[in-house]
Amino acid sequence: MKAAVLREVNAPLSIEDVQTATPGPREVLVRTAAAGVCHSDLHFQNGSYPYPLPAVLGHESAGVVEAVGSDVNYVKPGDHVITCLSAFCGHCEYCLTGHMSLCQEPELSRGPADAPRLAVGGEPIAQFLNLSSFAEYMLVHEHAIAKIREDMPLDRAALIGCGVTTGVGAVIHTAAVEPGATVAVIGCGGVGLSCVNGAEIAGASRIIAVDTVASKLELARKFGATDVVSAAETDAVEAVREMTGGGVHYSFEAIGLKATTEQAFKMIRDGGTATVIGMIPVGTMVEIHGPEFLREKTLQGSNMGSNRFRVDMPRFVDFYLAGKLHLDDMISSRIKLEDINDAMAALETGEVARNVIMFD
């Protein structure tokens, strides 16, 4: 199969012929239909988050089951599925206490004594986040997929695999935004737009989108933003606090920067909660004014929207088909696998929400 391989940090991905192993007892072979190019992929390409190389990147995808292992009964060939990087084991402390997105059990990957899932001419290729979706096929553990209805377009379903689940989940699961609350979202890429959309679904009374790019702020209005703030033209913290009479109940940082994380905390009112969704680079320290905690302010993180993805993803599909999730406007363009390096470069500019690789 053709796949995009990262061999060196800060180097272009190369399109190579990669061999996929035969499914093991609890593994599923998925024919990739669509894969979103997410900013998280860029973090690993540029070394902000170290990862074993060579590797096939990609983690936001949907496809059709091609084959299943002997012990798999959740799906069968022909089923449509969305993948999820936060695969779950189902029996560790995190899974058993309802924090499946934090599961790190090694059994979800093949062991060092097993044949690798991916290889090039006998050379093992690292599987990225249990998935590696910049490839024509994905060989994954059965607990890395969610089965969905077949009338859902797979290019839009792919977005649910990461950005939508992360953004909407952060609102409804991690922060538990209640109807009538005020919300600010910093960063209007795919995750931020999903956060705005999630706040609309949750019934927030005011949703303030913050970004430096005018076109993305305009797009945020389509996703449910009631107000927008251009951080390129004004002090975003002062603007949000003035608009809300002292700050929002909930803020969300969807970029992954020290400065915007600190801004998110400064935007909340007394008793408010700031949730960091963006991937802040390894080694970065965030500074918070200590006495603010006496005002019962909360700064928290969110991993993949604190998801229960086998429940959440089919529901998000229903939301889209009912007109509640605005996925059509999130796709900036549909591209081929060969265009992957252009798509990765576009992430640097911040001008796009999502480029989606189409395999069919």
Check residue 262 and give its pLDDT. Answer: 98
Active site residue 173: no
* Average pLDDT score over residue span 317-346: 95
What residues have CB less than 8 Å from 86, skipping those under 6 apart?
100, 101, 102, 103, 303, 304, 307, 309
Active site residue 59: yes
Active site residue 249: no
Tell me the sheet residues that pair with 55: 6, 126
In the set 14, 39, 59, 101, the catalytic residue is 59
Q: How high does pLDDT run on average in the chain?
A: 95
pLDDT digits over 298-313, tens only?
A: 999 999 999 999 999 9
Checking if the pLDDT of 40 tops 90, the result is no
pLDDT digits over 195-250, tens only?
A: 999 999 999 999 999 999 999 999 999 999 999 999 999 999 999 999 999 999 99
The model's pTM:
0.94
Checking if the pLDDT of 360 tops 80, the result is no
Q: At what angle do helices 190-202 and 214-222 cross, to 10 degrees?
A: 30
| Residue % of the chain over a pLDDT of 70 | 100
- Chain centroid to CA 148: how far? 18
Per the document, the length of the chain is: 360
In the set 80, 133, 141, 162, the catalytic residue is 162
CA distances from 265 to 139, 168, 231, 258 (A): 40, 20, 16, 11
Active site residue 141: no
For the chain, which residues make up each domain, given as ranges?
2-161+306-358, 176-301
Q: How far apart are alpha carbons 10 and 315 in whole angstroms?
A: 37
Checking if the pLDDT of 348 tops 90, the result is no
- End-to-end alpha carbon distance in the chain: 14
Would you identify the CATH topology of the domain 176-301?
Rossmann fold (3.40.50)
Check residue 211 and give its pLDDT. Answer: 96
- Thinking of the domain 2-161+306-358, which architecture would CATH place it in? Alpha-Beta Complex (3.90)
Active site residue 103: no
Looking at residue 157, its amino acid is A
Question: For residue 20, what is the enclosing H or E element?
Answer: strand 19-20
In the set 43, 80, 141, 143, the catalytic residue is 43
Tokens coding 196: 């705005």
Checking if the pLDDT of 112 tops 90, the result is no
Check residue 271 and give its pLDDT. Answer: 98
* CB-based contact 134:4 (threshold 8 Å): yes
Reduce the DSSP state of residue 151 to 3 states and report it. coil
Query: Which one, of 88, 26, 86, 22, lies nearest residue 60 by Cα?
Result: 86
| Residue % of the chain over a pLDDT of 90 | 92
